[in-house]
Structure 1
Amino acid sequence: MVAAPRLEARVRPMTADDLPAVGALERASYEFPWSEGVFADCLKAGHGCWVLTVEDAVAGYGILSTGAGEAHILNICIDPAHRGQGLGRLLLVHLLAAARSRGAERVFLEVRPSNPVAQQLYRSLGFVEIGRRPRYYPARNGREEAIVMARGL
């Protein structure tokens, strides 16, 4: 048996040139996607914005807001074609390290109850549920609540 070659993945800062690829990935991943304008605003606002590349192509991204000793993961996504390979964990670990380096002592995020794979990833890295936000996410039949999770750094 021949082992599959290991993909070369790296995380680097997002630039405006990445916005078309990030937007395309967002649209491919979510029924109610952020617009490229929202990502551009995150860059302009100085949020931590990174892309994960595989073989130099954008295969994921993460957006992190920090302030007052806290961080909030605003968006994290891996290309459906690359899921299940540990890339989400790699990107999330990068976001946690970035939050720590920006002085955060605690990190928050929201996740859909209908996304158990993401919930498991977050739990495996120390996140715990601390509450719920009713009607937080747009959904096909109205709105879906969010599970709020947090962990210390």
Structure 2
Amino acid sequence: MSIGQADERALLEGMVDIQRDEITRILEDLDDEEARRKLVPSLTTPLGLVKHATFVEKVWFHSRVANVPRQEIGLPDTVDESFVLAPDDTVESVRAAYLAACDHSREVAAAHDLGEEFPWHGKQVSLRFVYAHMIQELARHAGHGDILVEQIRAARQSS
């Protein structure tokens, strides 16, 4: 069955997984120096985007849906901190951490119904909302990554 003919849950899971794949593609064909390259004034780098996507997976699924305090997971306090690279972060280590976070997110989500609700900024949101939010969040960052990688590849050709 294609994703276009799937039931609601399979559709949402499939769309999130498509965007997760797009996030992993950000680092495809980049070496560690290129992946750390800062091309915009913010903390956004290709490697930082994937590290941030790991943070997003953990905030929404590992903490909020699984009801595990952020401190137990070791999440930074601010979104900006989620883009900060450690000296030992590499393309391989950040990619592996992201893939592991996605696997755990799938396991967490599988234990909950789409209509089940979780706290978010003093409100309740459903797992359905979490999936929709993740689709838009990951798609936006995958697009950011596409632009950065395009600039890096163009610089390769001009040198």
| TM-score (structure 1 length as normaliser) | 0.25
The higher radius of gyration belongs to: 2
Answer 1 or 2: which has greater helix percent: 2
Structure scoring higher RCO (CA < 8 A, sep ≥ 6) equals: 2
| TM-score (structure 2 length as normaliser) | 0.24
Answer 1 or 2: which has greater strand percent: 1
